Structure 1
Amino acid sequence: MVTPANDGVRPPDPTLPPADGAKRLLDVTLGSALLLLAAPVLLAAALALAVQHGPHQVFDGRTRAGLGGRLFVLRSLRTRRLRLDVVSRLAHVVRGELSLVGPAPLAPDDPRLLDGGPRRWRLELRPGLTGLAQVRARSGMPWDETALLDLHYAQTLARSRTQIQRIRLDLAILAESVHTPVRATLRGTARRAKGGLSDTDHRLPGYSPLE
């Protein structure tokens, strides 16, 4: 029996995370619940932006590459207050363009999506609303290590033996993504209560001038 040299089918890659219905189920159920809870606040913020800047300045839209390289327009509220820009992307999670947890969504011309080692796992994993790289970046890690963190997340999914382990990983990252900014906000409030702010009070927790 002769096998064609190139039949257009790629062999399975053991370094890629397996297709996981439980992860998608978590995205739909938790994403929908969070979107419903946040809807009144998002609507109020959208109305405020429309009144202040006009109806065409409510959302920011940027083209991103999703699962399988499919392009979609990532829409976010044009505000960083209370991280509502990130919360407003929950609709993309429900639609399946994003996952709650995953690598950062990249532009189609981003070099990390070009031919090379990282390409396959990035295109076979939904980009995330948040992720290991986004969470760790807030701790002061150099920006150029975010690609390694994204790869570490994908490899950890691939090594997980059960769906429960993968769900636990995502829930742990989600918990940290909420805990980190809340902790920073509380620390900032405590500093303001003690007196005036210096020009270094904006730095992330754990910052050292020797680094």
Structure 2
Amino acid sequence: MSAPPRPGWESGYARAALGLDVLSVVIADVFVSAVYHDVTVLDLPANLAVAVAVPILALLSLALNHAWDPRILGSGPEEFRRVASAYVTVIAVMAVAGYAVETAGGHSWVFGALPLAAMASLTGRYLLRKWLHRRRRSGSYLRSVVATGDEVSVRELIHRTRVATHTGWTVEAVCLSRSDPAEDLPLEVDGVPVLGTEHDIVGIVALRGFAAVALLPSVGWSPSRTQRLAWDLEGTGADLLIAPALMDIVGPRLHISPVAGTPLLQLSAPRFTGPAWVVKSVLDRVLALGLLIAMSPLLIAVGSAIRLTSPGPAFYRQTRVGRAGTTFEMIKFRSMVRDADVRLAELSSANEGAGVLFKIKDDPRVTRVGHFIRRYSIDELPQLFNVVAGHMSLVGPRPPLIAEVEKYDDGGVRRRMLVKPGLTGLWQISGRSDLSWEESVRMDLRYVENWTMTLDLMILWKTAAAVLRSEGAY
């Protein structure tokens, strides 16, 4: 039985990505050939050969790296990694080939046109993705999912897909696992209709045409049933999404290790030392110092505005807990009145935070300048001094107060202190102050468990957008 065709928007999106890549390579090639050089440079056979080879080899490299695979388009860092890898590969191959034939002809195309095309491709795909995410937030271009598992797991997936609409999945139906055949099923789970049990999945998918089945943890579900479900779904056009039941652990720490023919998910222990962490520390300090120098006029202007409009110092220092429980003085621009700490007890009844966090949306202690610098996170910029000093990192968990750490339970929250706290982090790009205590902890632990340099770069890139939107800032 042949599988139903993929949704039209998926093939259209893939064609748009292909078109952007072709356009990027061609424009970069023409720019170097006719603008950077005089077009007569192509009279030389070696230059003409390279100019022709550049777009062909670039597109071939993108194809070999599966850069147009529908499964990776529109979400996650894998799409950008494949595009970057394709261009790095073709640059390296053409550079080595030029060295092998002992000719310097065409270096402008290899080291000019190809990097230019790479930047254009990545930028084009980023803009295309932002367009897709806007459409998904309005309810378009979503993949329908039927979720099966126990009620707690299903409810969690429904919540996550509603929050992270950019992933493109929407749970439209539920098939609950049931240990007791006499047990009555609920009519819905968080507004999503319950259509049956795990035994009804295949028939429901065939009838309703769901794009995917999300298989979540449930008592009594065995590997043989998973395999049978995968076989039965063949030809329906539905993908099978399997939750490994390992909370928020993905990426380089997970590997497939076959043992006597049995595939096992191998989870390696996280490492917080080694060359990668040394590179992170060096880059943190170098970039922080560069940002301090570049933004020194802004820092001086903000500091002056605070001193002129509110009695007290421009900076506010507060003891925070860093890596391994060490304490340090964190520096911020003062955004509140001078006696804000003294007035904290008066506002305890107005606390809107959850867990150990204290948050008030309309805090009366915030000054007029403070409202502005908080909105755009300008008050956080002096923490660059902490980064240069080695107390903090550019990216990491939120730096906690001593009082917060004292309230930590043994539920893994202390693992946040395995790394340096950050000026920004997953909590910054995922809601900032709008996050609940549980969500804030989950974001920090996800970062600690899954750290890579690529993750840091992604967070830094997204922080700028989160700050400009000023969402969750108060």
* Greater relative contact order (CA < 8 Å, ≥ 6 in sequence): 1
Q: Residues 86, 16 of structure 1: CA spacing in aligned structure 2 closer, same or farther, 3 A cutoff? A: same
Distance 2:302 2:396 in 1: 26
Q: Residues 16, 109 of structure 1: CA spacing in aligned structure 2 closer, same or farther, 3 A cutoff? A: farther
Q: CA deviation at 1:23?
A: 0.9
Give the corresponding residue for 1:168: 454
Residues 1:147 and 2:441 aligned together: yes
Q: Residues 92, 151 of structure 1: CA spacing in aligned structure 2 closer, same or farther, 3 A cutoff? A: same
Q: Any stretches of 5+ residues in structure 1 without a counterpart? A: 1-13, 158-165, 186-202, 205-211
1:28 aligned residue (285, 301, 324) = 285
Distance 1:72 1:109 in 2: 14
Q: CA deviation at 1:151?
A: 0.5
Q: Residues 119, 18 of structure 1: CA spacing in aligned structure 2 closer, same or farther, 3 A cutoff? A: same
Following superposition, which runs of at least 4 residues in structure 1 exceed 3 angstroms of deviation? 14-17, 111-115, 138-143
TM-score computed with the length of structure 2 as normaliser: 0.32
Q: Any stretches of 5+ residues in structure 2 without a counterpart? A: 1-267, 335-369
Distance 2:271 2:431 in 1: 23
Q: CA deviation at 1:174?
A: 0.6
Distance 2:454 2:300 in 1: 31
Distance 1:17 1:112 in 2: 26
Distance 2:450 2:310 in 1: 44
**2:320–2:329 contact (8 Å) kept in structure 1:** yes
Give the corresponding residue for 1:179: 465
Distance 1:119 1:147 in 2: 7
Distance 1:140 1:113 in 2: 21
TM-score computed with the length of structure 1 as normaliser: 0.69
Percent sequence identity is: 31
Matches within 5 A, 1:58-207: 58-78=314-334, 79=370, 80-81=372-373, 82-111=376-405, 114=408, 116-118=410-412, 120-138=414-432, 141-157=435-451, 166-182=452-468, 184=469
Which secondary structure state, in structure 2, belongs to the residue aligned with residue 41 of structure 1? helix
Distance 1:62 1:93 in 2: 15
Larger Rg: 2
Distance 2:440 2:433 in 1: 12
**1:63–1:108 contact (8 Å) kept in structure 2:** yes
Q: CA deviation at 1:70?
A: 1.2
CA offset digits 1:86-144 (Å, max 9, x no partner): 11211111111110000000011214774624355322210000000121024965453
Distance 2:299 2:328 in 1: 21
Which secondary structure state, in structure 2, belongs to the residue aligned with residue 57 of structure 1? coil
Residues 1:48 and 2:302 aligned together: no
Residues 1:38 and 2:295 aligned together: yes
Give the corresponding residue for 1:194: none
Q: CA deviation at 1:48?
A: 2.1
Q: CA deviation at 1:77?
A: 0.6
**1:112–1:119 contact (8 Å) kept in structure 2:** no
